[in-house]
Each structure stands twice: as structure tokens, then as C-alpha cells.
């Protein structure tokens, strides 16, 4: 059982040039939620390492030996990179969503 069937409904009458064209199904709500999720997590990870909560939180008060690791700029850059990847995934999903649901 494929998850693809929840997002796109294939119909033989929508075939163009021998390739089936996707018809919007009920999954457009889940696609929108996934896009919002990717953009939200990406924005959160983009700015979190540079906020004060990154170095002042309960975990670091209870385990001060983690403070040098968390304060490392390479770790902050890695988290920022994950945020950028999430934002790019969200943008790619927006483009894909437009192709599926707004193409003629």
C-alpha cells in the first residue's frame, strides 16, 4: 500500500502524451500542512542557535559538561544548515504543489 495514493489520484482520462497527469485528491490538506511544517521547523532551526535560550536552558544547568559542546560554532552552523535544508524542502514542495494542483 503506497502513501502516494493518499496525495494524488491518478485518472486515465487525464493522460497527456502517454503519461498520466495527476488529479488533485483529498490529500491537498496534508500537503499544505507538510509545507507549513517544513517552513516552520526550518525557520526555528535557522534562528534557534543564535538566541539566548540556546546557551541558557535547564539541560545545561543540570549538566554543565555539555556547555562547551553546545557553545561550539560548528554545532550552531550544523543546526543552521538543517534549518536551511528544511526551508529548501518546503520551497520545493510549494513548487511541486503548484505543478500538481494549478497546472492546466
Span 14-65, pLDDT tens digits: 445 555 555 556 788 899 999 999 999 999 999 999 998 998 889 999 999 9
Please determine, for residue 7, whether its predicted confidence score (pLDDT) is greater than 70.
no
Taking the C-alpha atoms of residue 59 and residue 40, their distance in angstroms, rounded to an integer, is: 24
Closest CA to 76 of 54, 43, 53: 54
pLDDT in tens, 74-104: 999 999 999 999 999 999 999 998 888 887 6
* Counted domains in the chain: 1
Provide the domain limits for residue 58. 4-102
| Beta bridge partner(s), residue 23 | 9
| DSSP string computed for 92-104 | HHHHHHHHHHH--
Amino acid at each position: 500500500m503506497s502513501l502516494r495514493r493518499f496525495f494524488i489520484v491518478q485518472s486515465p482520462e487525464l493522460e497527456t502524451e502517454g503519461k498520466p497527469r495527476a488529479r488533485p485528491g483529498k490529500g491537498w490538506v496534508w500537503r499544505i500542512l507538510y509545507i507549513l511544517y517544513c517552513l516552520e521547523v526550518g525557520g526555528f532551526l535557522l534562528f534557534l542557535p543564535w538566541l539566548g535560550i540556546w546557551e541558557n536552558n535547564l539541560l545545561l544547568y543540570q549538566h554543565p559538561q555539555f556547555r562547551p559542546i553546545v557553545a561550539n560554532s560548528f554545532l550552531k552552523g550544523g543546526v543552521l544548515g538543517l534549518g536551511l535544508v528544511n526551508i529548501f524542502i518546503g520551497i520545493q514542495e510549494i513548487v511541486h504543489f503548484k505543478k500538481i494542483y494549478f497546472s492546466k
